[in-house]
Structure 1
Amino acid sequence: MSYLLYSQAQQLKLHEPVPVTLHPAAVYLSSLSQGSRRSMLSSLNAIAHLLTEGECDAFSLDWSKLRYHHTAAVRTALKQRLAPATTNKMLVALRRVLTEAYRLDLIDAKDYHKAVDIANVKGTGQLRGRALTRAEIESLIECCYQRRDAISLRDAAVIAILRCGGIRRQEIVQLKLEDLDLATGELTIRRGKGGKFRLVYLTPEAMDMVEDWLEIRGKLPGPLICPVNKGGKVILRHFAADGDGIYKLVKARAMMAGVKHFSPHDFRRTFCSDLLAEGEDVFTVQELAGHASPATTAKYDRRGEGRKRRAVKRLKFRC
C-alpha cells in the first residue's frame, strides 16, 4: 500500500456515528448467517486496517469514500499476502459493502461501478481440502467407541452426521432433536447457507451411533448435539453458532485417533466424492449438499486421477 493511501486515512474515517440502518458494513453483515458474519467482519476489518494503516475498522471507515484507486490497491495488497481463495473471499465482502453504500445513496453510480470493477485473483487450480479414506473414518469411530462415555458417544454422533449427512458445521450446531426423524433417518436442515431449507438422510449405521448418543442425552426438546462437561453431564444448549466448537471437537478426535489433520468441511468433500463415485448424478449430490450450483459440487470432487484413468479404459478403440 502506498504512502498516498495511508495519508488519506483521516479522509476515509467516519467523524461522527452513523445509525446501523445507514451504515453499509452493518447493513451487509446483517444480511449474512451468523457463521458467515464473523468471517466477513474479519475480512472487512482487515481491509479497513490496510487502507488506514490500522486506524480504522469496519465500522469506523467511511466506505462511501472509497474509489477505484483504493479498491485496486486493496486487491494488489491482498494478492501479495494471501492465497487466491482468501483474497477473493475478501474482495466479495468489499464489493458487497460498496453495493450497500450505493443502495443507501451514499455513493453515486459512476464512482460505485468503477470501485467494484476489480477482477478476482486467479488461483493455481489446486483444490482445497481432502477426502477422508474409509480407514481414517473407521479409526475415528473406533477411537470414540473405545471409551463409550458421554463425550465419546457425542463425538461419534457428530462424525456420523457430518460424514453421512454431508452438512456444514454451522448447520449441525443449529439442529434440534425434532429435526431428526428417528424412524427414517431423515434430517431437516431448516436454515442452511443462504437460509435454504433441505433434507438429508442418515444411513442405518449412522443412526445407530446417533441413537447411542441419545440414550445419554435423553429425549428432552433442545439441541440435537450439545456440550458435555468434564464430569460427563450433558448441558442442554447449542454450541456457538459459528461452529468453532465442532471444529475443535473434530481436531481433537483426529489427534486422538492418529488421523492426519482435516477440517469438518472435509467430511462434505468426502460425502460428495463418495456419492459421485457410486454413480449418483451431480444434480442429486448438489441438492443433498445444499450447493447453489452443480459447478460448486464439482469442486468438492476428490476422487482423484484414478476415475479419469478408469473412464478412458472403458473407451473402445474401434467401434
Structure 2
Amino acid sequence: MSDTLGRKRSMILTAGAAGLGALLIAVAPTYAAVGILAPILLVVRRTIQGLAHGGEMPAAGAFIAEAAKPDNGGAWSSLIYVFGTIGASFGVLLGAILAQTISPDDLNSWGWRLAFGLGALGSFAAMLYRMRMRETEIFTKQVAAQGVPQESLLKAVWRARGTAIKIIGLTVGLTVGYYLWTTVLTAYHISVLGPQTPSYHRGSDNSSVLWVTLAANVWFILTLPVWGIVSDRIGRKPVLWIATIGTAIVSVPLLGWVDSSIFRLGVTLFIANFFTAAAASIFPGLLTELVPTRIRTIGVGVPYAIAVALFGGTAPYLQTWMSTNWGLPSFAW
C-alpha cells in the first residue's frame, strides 16, 4: 500500500500509471479494426488513468503537507491544484491549436492521438524527475521511530472511518463543482450550445471556446495561491465557508444564464472559478491535516477515490436531474 511504500514511491507509480494509460489510448485500435474490443480496451485504459489520478492527489497532498511549515501550509497546499491545472491548461491549449490547424475530419481520425501521446511523454518525464526526490523528513523519522508496525494499515484506516466520512463529504462538493466548471460546461458548449447557433462553424467556434476556457484556467491558477495565503492568515474554515456559500449563491443563476454566447461562457467560468479556487487551494492540505502521518496517503486516498468515482463522473447526470426539476439546461448528451 502507498503508505508502506512511502510518498515518493507512490508518486512515481502514479505518474508512471498515468503515462501508461495515456500511451495505450494514443495507440488504441479503432472499432473498424477490432470491433467491440475497441471500447472495452478504452475503458480499461481509462481505468488505469483513473486509478493513477485517484492515487496522485492524496500522495502529493501528503508530501506537500509534510514538507510545508506550519505558517504556510495553505500556500503550499494550493500548489497541488496550481500545477494540476497548468497540466490541464496545456491540454486545452493543445486542443485549441489542433482545432485551428487540423481539419475536423483529420482531428477525429488521428489528430486526437497526438494529445494523448504528448500527455504520456509528460507523465513519464514526471516519473523520472520524481525518482530524484527525497522522502519527507517527517515520514522518514516516524518510520524510523516506529520500526515494525504493530497494527496493520487496514485496521488503522478502519479506526479512522469517522474521518473518512468527513473526507467524502468535503470531496463531494468540490468534485462536482470542479468537474462542472472545468470540464462539463466546456464540453457541453462545444457539443450542444454551439451547434444551436445559426452562424456556428465547428472548427473556429470550438477553438474560441477552448481559448476562453484556457483564459479561465489561467485565472483559476492565479487565484489559487492568493486563497492559500489568505487561509494562512484567517484560517482554513473561513475560506471554506466563503467557497461554499459563494458557490451556492452563484451556481444556479450562472447555469441558467449561460447560452451559446462565448462572452457569457467566459463570465460564467471566471466567476465560478473564483469560488472554486478558494476551496481547491486548501483542499489537499485540509484533508491531510485530518489524518495521522502513518496512514495519511491511504487514509485520504480511499475515501477521496470513492467520492470522486461516485460524484465526479456523475456530475452531468446530477445536472440533468437539476434541469428536469429546476428548468436548468441539461449537460448530459
* TM-score (norm: length of structure 2): 0.28
User: When you count helix as a share of all residues, which structure comes out higher?
Assistant: 2
- Highest RCO, 1 vs 2 (Cα 8 Å, sep ≥ 6): 2
